[in-house]
Amino acid sequence: MSEIYEQPLFGIFITILAFQLSKIIARKFKFAVFNPVLLSVVSIICFLVIFKIDFESYNIGGQYLGFLLGPTVVALGVLFYEKYEQIKANILPFVSAVFLGGTLSIISVSTIAIVLGAPEFILKSIAPKSVTTPIAVEISKIIGGVPYITAGIVIAVGIFGNAFGPAILRALGIKNKNAIGAALGTASHGIGTARALDEGKLPGAYGGLAMCINGFLTAIFTPYIINIVLTLFA
Amino acid sequence: MFKGVLYLFLFLVFGEIIVHLFNLSIAGSIVGMVAIFIALKLKVIKLNDVKPASDQFIKYMVLFFVPYGVGLMTFYDILKMHWIAIVISTVLSTIITLYVTAIILQKFGKDE
């Protein structure tokens, strides 16, 4: 007889439960570390470790939720269409900024990691660190990274950008709110964009669009950039 | 709402087929994302038909990637070995990305 936790229901149920509880806690403590995703992930891991349940058993159900990231990426195309109208006037400098920022993200993270001695699969897992999780996971699978490591790092980068992004940018002399929004969306995807919305509606739109454009660019260029970095440094 | 869900899956299937036919090294969902944007721009499909569904998917997106985050637990030993390289490279790279994007837009963007 299979254990109760070896049914799809188990993984789906504890994920939804943990997420709902995390949202309640996150609402009480308005600080970036109390992010609902981080809290859910940490609490589920603790639960599985305490009750000695394998990730594989959990993922019997978990994979159904993960599968929904596919249509979510398509939904981002709809979001992009909506926001596109709002920033038409600034489209050229905006796309250039996201393009350069996004490209430098892949180049810098993989170069620094390889110089510090990280193996190839780590490099490939963290290369798409700045793009939204559904896209990052797809990129990681295609270039030979580990999607679980990718997801963890992407979430961490999002929380870092959300918590410290605006303060870092202001310390570096950035005053323009739309520029702050675009930077948060490019460097730390949806979780960063949530913070861009605190700066205002338009900075929030810049963040959302930057997230979509960078996701698309990163999906196209990462395999090539990784190959170049590997031939240069490995 | 249901029509919107159908559209999202339709474009996802379309993306997967394109990737398969042309042997592309890109995810089918990303091809679908671009295709649905073009379809909306060319008015092949209406925003109002797909928006109710796409908004829901985006709203609950974070729930969908929780299982991937949990999967990190199986790589505990590997992460313990390489955490310094991972932390330094991601933090520095994130600051570089933030700054470069912001400075370009601040210098060359128009204020609205």
Contact call for residues A133 and A69 (beta carbons, < 8 A): yes
User: Which residues of chain B fall below pLDDT 70?
Assistant: 111-112
- Note the pLDDT of residue A80: 87
Provide the domain count of chain B.
Answer: 2
Window 156-195 of A, Cβ < 8 Å to B: 156-157, 160-161, 165, 168-169, 172, 174-176, 178-180, 182-184, 186-188, 190
Q: How far from A205 is each of A32, B33, B103, CA to CA, in Å? A: 20, 18, 18
Q: Give residue-wise pLDDT tens across range A64-120.
A: 998 998 999 899 899 889 888 777 778 899 999 999 999 999 999 999 999 999 999
> Which residue of A lies nearest to B109 if distances are taken between CA atoms?
A93
Coil, strand or helix at A53: coil
Q: Are residues B51 and B80 both part of a single domain?
A: no
Distance between CA A116 and CA A126 in Å, rounded?
Answer: 14
Q: Are residues A93 and A48 both part of a single domain?
A: no
Query: What count of other Cβ atoms lies within 10 Å of the Cβ of residue B29?
Result: 27
Alpha carbon A30 to its chain centroid, in Å, reads 20
Contacts A138 to B, Cβ<8 Å: 27, 29-30
Q: Find where tokens 């912001």 sit.
A: B102
Q: Are residues A8 and A95 both part of a single domain?
A: no
Q: Which two tokens stand for residue A223?
A: 């395999």
* Domain containing residue A156: 74-232
* Contact between A148 and B91 using a beta-carbon 8 Å cutoff: no
Q: Are residues B95 and B51 both part of a single domain?
A: no
Q: Give residue-wise pLDDT tens across range A170-190.
A: 999 999 999 999 999 999 998
Window 204-233 of A, Cβ < 8 Å to B: 206, 210, 212, 215-216, 219-220, 223
Contacts B92 to A, Cβ<8 Å: 108, 112
Q: Which two tokens stand for residue B10?
A: 């339709």
Provide the domain count of chain A.
Answer: 2
Cβ neighbours for A152, distance < 8 A, ≥ 6 positions apart = A41, B68, B69, B71, B72
> Which residue of B lies nearest to A23 if distances are taken between CA atoms?
B63
Q: How far from A49 is each of A19, A22, A38, A55, A178, CA to CA, in Å? A: 18, 18, 16, 9, 43
Q: pLDDT higher for A1 or A69?
A: A69
Distance between CA B112 and CA A196 in Å, rounded?
Answer: 17
ipTM attached to this prediction? 0.90
* Domain containing residue B44: 1-59
- Note the pLDDT of residue A1: 46
Interface contact A20, partner B, CB < 8 A: no
Q: Is the pLDDT of residue A216 over 70?
A: yes
Q: Are residues B55 and B69 both part of a single domain?
A: no
In degrees and rounded to multiples of 5, residue A186 shows phi and psi of -70, -45
Q: Is the pLDDT of residue A197 over 90?
A: no
Kindly report the three-state secondary structure assignment for every residue of A73-112.
Answer: HHHHHHHHHHHHHHHHHHHHHHHHHHHHHHHHHHHHHHHH
Question: In a mutagenesis test of the B interface, which of A37, A74, A153 is the best target, namely the one with the most B β-carbons within 10 Å?
Answer: A74
Query: ∠ CA A103-B95-A150 to the nearest 5 degrees?
Result: 65
Q: How confident is the model at residue A29 (pLDDT cuts 50, 70, 90)?
A: confident
Of B5, B72, B99, the CB nearest to A148: B72
Q: Are residues A17 and A78 both part of a single domain?
A: no
Q: Are residues B53 and B14 both part of a single domain?
A: yes
For the entire predicted model, the pTM comes to 0.87
Q: Are residues B84 and B50 both part of a single domain?
A: no
